[in-house]
A = this chain, B = another copy of it.
Amino acid sequence: MRGKVTISHVAREAGVSKSTVSQFLNARYDYMSEETKKRIEKTIIELNYQPNAIARSLKTKNTATIGVIVANILHTYSTQVIRSIENVCHERRISTIICNADNDPEKELNYIETLLSKQVDGLIVIPMKENAKEYRRLINQKYPIIFLDRLLDEVENESILLNNELASELAVDHLLENKYDKIAIMTTPLNANITPRLERVRGYENALRKHRIPVDTQYIKSVPVNRMQKELENLFKLTIPPNAIISGNDLTLVEILSFIKQNEYVLGKEIGLVTIDEVPYASLFTPSITTIMQPTFEMGKKAAELLLDKIEKKSNLSREIYRFKPSLIVRNSSIK
């Protein structure tokens, strides 16, 4: 079905051996006569020969391909990090296979298996604790793998994370400065032990304490997305309702904005808002939305670079954790 000209055809046509053609393909011209070189080159063009990477991989044991498994591709965070990973990889002529685990551990395991069977050279993953055993097995084998966005108690490994506590601290400090003294926070559930949520809530608590403001647990809403509307209602029905809210991520933000719109609260004036994660419409909104931006580009770049290094050196079992600094983008939703 496909153009099936192989290295043998080229060799025959050019009147040399397969070995020589292979040397040519791999740019090992050291001992090759100019003439042979030219002849092979010409033949390759004439026959429109395209090497079979599969055959090459079988022999060389590498595929110039990495796998990236994200927990939920709907987050802007994921798409941005992926783009950045791809940029780095594309420059180095590495292909990337992107997988969306949909926060389903089984699905993720399945992807890992498929990717490994396709012999990808390494993996970047947003890890789930349910699959800790599998990660550990791979790491023990010195299989190159980088964690992103989450830490696992059970498995130490090179990891890229946001300084989540700082993100919350920036938000709290900024809101307090702008005279919002009753600050709530909303995130997805904490029970799954997912690093960003845990750390963002912890950072929020610590920041309040730093300012000697008591932490009111009623102001901490960590619930599934489908219960957020109801919990927001409850939150603002409290005897002393908050006058500001921190949104834990971009999907939570959508819920909060929708609630605010529905109830005709005046953003900024009545309810101060800061969200973690920059969203494309933040500046278009009225009032524009104050965000805490993750350096997604740098994080993706670092993840890719770490992985590619690991693949090349095939050695260092680093367990370093790289923390990236969030930055506050002040707009109008946090100004009275």
Contacts and interface: CB of A to CB of B under 8 A. Distances in A.
For A50, A113, A114, the residue with the greatest tally of chain B CB atoms inside 10 Å of its CB is A114
A305 to B, nearest CB: 19
Interface string A18-53: 000000000000000000000000000000001111
A283 B73 CA distance: 21
B58 A54 contact: yes
Contacts of A93: 114
Nearest to A115: B95
Interface in A142-185: 142-143
A55 B57 CA distance: 9
B261 A286 contact: yes
A52 B116 CA distance: 8
A280 B255 CA distance: 11
User: How many subunits of this chain does the assembly comprise?
Assistant: 2
Interface in A73-126: 73, 79, 83, 86, 93, 95-98, 100, 113-114, 116-119
Given A2-B143, A141-B2, A143-B2, A54 B52 contact: no
Contacts of A1: 141-143, 314
Given A58-B54, A254-B280, A280-B254, A86 B114 contact: no
Given A2-B141, A261-B284, A286-B261, A53 B119 contact: yes
Contacts of A117: 50-53
B58 A55 contact: yes
A285 interface: yes
A118 B64 CA distance: 10
A214 interface: no
Interface string A249-261: 0000010011001
Given A54-B57, A63-B54, A258 B285 contact: no
